[in-house]
Chain A
Amino acid sequence: MRFAGRPLLFLAAAPVLGLLVLPLVGLLVASSPADLAAGIGSPLFAPALWLSARTTAASLAVVVLAGTPLAWWLAVGSGRTTRVVEAVVDLPIVVPPAVVGIALLETFGRSGLLGPGLVRFGIQIPFTTLAVVLAQVVVSAPFYVQAAAAAFRRVDADLLIVARTLGQSQRGAFLRVAVPIALPGLIGGAALAWARALGEFGATLLFAGNLPGTTQTMPLAIYMALESDVRVAVALSLVLAAVSIFLLLALRLAPSAVARLQTRSARS
């Protein structure tokens, strides 16, 4: 299609496009290799990276294991309950992370909803690594559940009936037909959820605090580093940005790669 106003369109889009790209360039330009090395060598760096890796792996596992059945239920259901649950699942996307943090404190904190019960069993959740994982689960689950439900909705219901008539139980039809067909969508959703958990800041800061080695994930370490040494903050940011860009690329390439893999394994 030919657009007479193409240069004009580009001009109109330029400010937003620039704002999306320029900060990344700024980040790259800000640090020399020596700065980067100094940042990576800082005592903040390794514990934060390790904690982020551990907590996001745990939260992703929870989100996928519990979110997949939930997404399936949302995809096959059609009643009013389904729609209400669907809206509830979306809540953390629209609620500011700081509010999620306070809400979690008011639930699991000493004087919170479940606080007295937890205290009786000697369980303390706020300001622990578990709190980091919980905050990540809450803010990232909607991204996975939404994507997975959308992927499951695209699976033709007749395929599942056929799988049943060919001898599969309900579970078998789900695992052998629905999941493989929805797999690219599930992977895409999982990558989005992981990216969201990796970047989680607000809810973690309020609910888990900023304790190095225990609750100080990468984003929180950036925040702390900024007060002492900008170079460390920039180095941490570069690593996070690199991981995110890699994730984005993987997201774009995952669907076709999965399809190719499935084709190949079916051939072998």
Chain B
Amino acid sequence: MSWHVAIRMRMGSLDLDLDLRGDDTPVAIIGPNGSGKTTLLRTIAGAYAPDAGTIRVKEETLFDAEAGVDLPPERRGVGYVPQGYGLFPHLSVLDNVAFSWVSRGVARTERRHAALRLMERMGCAHLADRFPTKLSGGEQQRVALARALTAEPRMLLLDEPLAALDAPSRRQIRAYLAEHLTERRGPALVVSHEARDVHALGAFVYAIERGRVVQSGTPGALASAPATEFVAAFFEA
């Protein structure tokens, strides 16, 4: 078990009570809109504090309500790629990717070289001088993933990484994610809304509805014996 999240919290009308755990392979989160998927990712990233519970990743306690542990986001070692990719519009692609090295005080030339090297490996070095608003969705997703990896996160959080893409780039990025997430061999939580994406990632699945886990298991297990209408519909298509 490389990570374990057990939290209880209220966010507006949403009442969250979740217990999820996983190893070093990607885990997919599925669920209808408003079920708490994005809130879960942001909470792990440290944007919200749960009322109770613990968040542990790789032996490190990021949050523990009883022990009074609540690491700030910058010390949690999680990479977060929000829906819409979250690229900084005022920075070039290169500066976006080099951003975490700014935080760590790496010299300008050095961090730019490091960013370029990483982007070459991630197949997006040719975008270095462009600005995020001038990129296609697939290009933005590659850059956002590369940027998240620069912080060498213990855990990756991806919110609907394939949602806004057209069919061809969706196929491309799906394969790209599968390749890089398995190559990385670290825990990753991927919010997804399509069965094909879940299958491609080979991910263990948690289905969440109204703030609760309604079912978990392999995609095959969920597809053959869906516990709710949503899970059934999800794997039907």
Q: Which residues of A contact B (CB under 8 A)?
A: 156-159, 161-170, 172, 176-177, 180-181, 183, 262-263, 266-267
Contacts and interface: CB of A to CB of B under 8 A. Distances in A.
Interface string B76-93: 101111111010111110
B84 A166 contact: no
A254 to B, nearest CB: 15
A164 B73 contact: yes
Contacts of A164: 45-47, 72-74
Nearest to B95: A266
Interface centre among A164, A169, A177, A183 (most CB of B within 10 A): A164
B84 A177 contact: no
Nearest to A259: B90
Contact of B88 (A165, A167, A169, A181): A181
A177 B132 CA distance: 14
B102 interface: yes
B103 A181 contact: no
Given A158-B82, A158-B84, A164-B46, A169 B72 contact: yes
10 contacts: A156-B86, A159-B86, A161-B82, A164-B72, A164-B74, A165-B79, A168-B74, A262-B90, A263-B131, A267-B92
Interface centre among A157, A164, A166, A168 (most CB of B within 10 A): A166
A167 B103 contact: yes
Contact of A165 (B92, B102, B104, B151): B151
Given A158-B84, A176-B102, A267-B129, A165 B74 contact: yes
B202 interface: no
B233 to A, nearest CB: 28
Contacts of A162: 80-82, 86, 88
A172 B73 CA distance: 12
Contacts of A167: 74, 100, 102-104, 151
Contacts of B45: 161, 164-165
Given A161-B47, A165-B45, A166-B99, 18 more contacts: A158-B82, A158-B83, A158-B84, A161-B46, A161-B73, A162-B80, A164-B46, A164-B72, A165-B76, A165-B79, A166-B100, A166-B151, A167-B104, A169-B74, A181-B89, A183-B90, A266-B131, A267-B92
Nearest to B46: A164
B230 to A, nearest CB: 25
B199 interface: no
A32 B97 CA distance: 60
Interface in B148-180: 148, 150-151, 153
